[in-house]
Amino acid sequence: MVSDVWEHEWLQGLLCELIEDAHRRGDAGQFPVLAERVATAVNRSLGFDPAGLEDAARTGAEILGRDSYLPLGRLVEPAQVAAIQAYLADRPARAPFLPDKPFFAQDSIPDDVNFLDFDRADVITCPHVLDILNHPRVLSLVSAQLGGLPTLHCAIIRRSYAGRAVARENQLFHSDPWHCLRFVKLFIYLSDVDDAAGPHVYVRGSHDAEDLQARIQARVAAHPADAGRFDILLTSERKPDSVVADFFDAKDIVAMPGPAGTAFIGNTRALHKGRLPDRGDRLALIGLYGLLPGLRPALRGRPLSGADYAAHHRETYGEGLFSNHLSYINRMLTRWE
Ligand SMILES: O=C(O)CCC(=O)C(=O)O
Ligand SMILES: [Fe+2]
């Protein structure tokens, strides 16, 4: 079984180093070949055939490959959203970018903390969350995009607060680090998000760094006065709004508002941000799916085994393409024996 292979820590460590090295050098050139081999090995070992995926999943993956994001419409029912909100309402949450990630109570959050992430144990025990992350439509699309059976690496529920003075961290344009050889994220709003309430913003089609570099070079060749002005789009972790707005067409800088329950899948190698909310706090669930095992320790906090979760999933969604593979997909988030 592939899951046994991944338990060899040296193998995980080797792959993590490879990915981190390539990230430092800004060179992911060998990733496509390696990713293809890993996908083939995972699928073969687990008896998963991507050819069985429905056409809609393949079409979705094509859109993702072109646009960097794929809207899914409303994925979560209002009653489920209400149950999630109620479960989290009074729980303390962490400031992920402060040293030691301190917890704050919901009624005593400092003004310079723009968003908090709920404790990971609270996230995976929260009603409906595992089911949303394992929605068959989501798993089909993610499998088509990754070319193989995914591993759910982690899930975050983030509350972003309105009325803060300046945008911080992920509220500024960035491209996510290489979480894995291939990865995508699922985003679901758990509060109503209009233009003023901090929608996600994507720069359409900006996920390919080589292509972006070529576009920057072409621009500089045509306008020599621009030399150096746009390098920051590739070199700096956070990219100023003004540079993004100068370089890209306004029609390709796309905000994605939507009522609570709205979901989309994003290739977060593209430039993106969660806009600072002006009015109305924003609650969102974010799931990270990759091909390799997580590059961080497994949670295994859920009081459910992978097999129990698979049985629960069958009750919720019926027998399906992923029935045999749910304990593999969820092995970082459930207890697996
Ligand atoms: O806080 C946000 O909405 C931004 C999230 C983000 O950048 C990410 O999950 O990659
Ligand atoms: Fe991000």
Q: Which of 272, 281, 288 to mutate to test the pocket of ligand 1 (most atoms within 8 A of CB)?
A: 272
Q: Using 50, 70 and 90 to split pLDDT, how confident is the model at 5? A: low
226 and 291 share a domain?
no
pLDDT (0 to 100) of residue 206: 95
221 and 107 share a domain?
no
197 and 100 share a domain?
yes
Q: Where are the beta strands (DSSP E) in 132-241?
A: 151-160, 183-189, 200-203
106 and 126 share a domain?
yes
Number of domains in the chain: 2
Q: Which of 117, 153, 170, 269 to mutate to test the pocket of ligand 1 (most atoms within 8 A of CB)?
A: 170
Residue in the structure block whose two tokens are 């687990």: 46
Q: Which of 258, 199, 206, 273 is nearest to 64 (CA)?
A: 206
172 and 122 share a domain?
yes
Which residue CA neighbors atom 3 of ligand 1 most closely? 274
Give the whole-angstrom CA distance, residue 64 versus residue 266. 7
End-to-end CA distance of the chain: 13
293 neighbors 332 (Cβ within 8 angstroms):
yes
55 and 84 share a domain?
yes
109 and 229 share a domain?
no
200 and 150 share a domain?
yes
Domain that holds residue 229: 208-247
pLDDT in tens, 105-150: 999 999 999 999 999 889 989 999 999 999 999 999 999 999 999 9
Q: Which residue, 247, 276, 302, sits at the end of a domain? A: 247
273 and 174 share a domain?
yes
Which residue CA neighbors atom 6 of ligand 1 most closely? 170
Structure token pair of residue 325: 């593979």
272 and 228 share a domain?
no
Is there an atom of ligand 1 within 6 Å of 274 CB?
A: yes
273/154: higher pLDDT: 273
pLDDT (0 to 100) of residue 337: 45
Q: Which residue, 224, 247, 270, sits at the end of a domain? A: 247
Mean pLDDT over the full length of the chain: 90
306 neighbors 328 (Cβ within 8 angstroms):
yes
CATH number, domain with residue 39 = 2.60.120.620
Rounded to the nearest angstrom, the distance between the alpha carbon of 336 and the centre of ligand 1 is: 29
157 and 266 share a domain?
yes
Which residue CA neighbors atom 7 of ligand 1 most closely? 170
Residues 6+ apart with CB under 8 A from 57: 140, 141, 143, 144
Q: Which residue, 216, 247, 278, sits at the end of a domain? A: 247
Residues 6+ apart with CB under 8 A from 43: 49, 50, 148, 149
273 and 303 share a domain?
yes
